[in-house]
Amino acid sequence: MKTKINQNYLHQEFMATNHMGLDSFSEGLQKKITIFGIMLPGLQDTIEEDAKVLRKKLDALDKEIYGDMLEEYEEYLENNEVADIEEKSIKSLADPDIIEQLWKMGRKKSLRRSTLRDMGFKGDLSKGSLKVGSYRLERTGIFVHSYDIIKG
């Protein structure tokens, strides 16, 4: 007897509600979410006792991921949803201020070029390294434009 997958995992709902992608979180949390994604399809192929054990592991990992998400975004939360920041105010920030905001939010790894552009970043992202205020953007992706923020 195959088990039905629970589509209402807390961390997935949080990500959907707040329109957040994997790159919105710290590297450690990204790894946990990826592991969850690898484990989840196995639930369809397991039966009886194995399914119960896997479901318990998935539920525990889901709660752990959700708790980590709430911790990472604690100062930005309103009623367990990320507080909306006026898009005008973000897009009017200077590049160093945008990078400073990302640093304070803990979003330092695997930032996509499109994410930076959506936030109003205007700097030249065609180089491997770019100095922005007291930070440096280092390109980490080979086939995609993703960047890490490094202080100093």
Each residue of 87-127: pLDDT tens digit? 444 556 889 988 988 888 778 888 888 778 878 888 888 88
Instruction: Mark which of 51, 82, 113 sits at the end of a domain.
Output: 82
Q: By residue range, what is the domain housing residue 128?
A: 87-151
Which position has the higher pLDDT, 77 or 57?
A: 57
Alpha carbons 57 and 63: distance in angstroms, whole number? 10
105, 20 Cβ separation under 8 angstroms = no
Instruction: Give how many domains the chain has, as a whole number.
Output: 2
Instruction: Mark which of 52, 82, 112 sits at the end of a domain.
Output: 82
Please check whether residues 16 and 73 belong to one and the same domain. Answer: yes
Please check whether residues 112 and 50 belong to one and the same domain. Answer: no
Which position has the higher pLDDT, 1 or 43?
A: 43
45, 4 Cβ separation under 8 angstroms = no
pLDDT in tens, 28-62: 899 999 999 999 998 888 888 988 899 999 988 99
Q: Which residues pair with 136 in a beta bridge?
A: 131, 150
Please check whether residues 136 and 96 belong to one and the same domain. Answer: yes
Strand order, beta sheet including 111-112? 111-112, 146-151, 135-139, 129-132
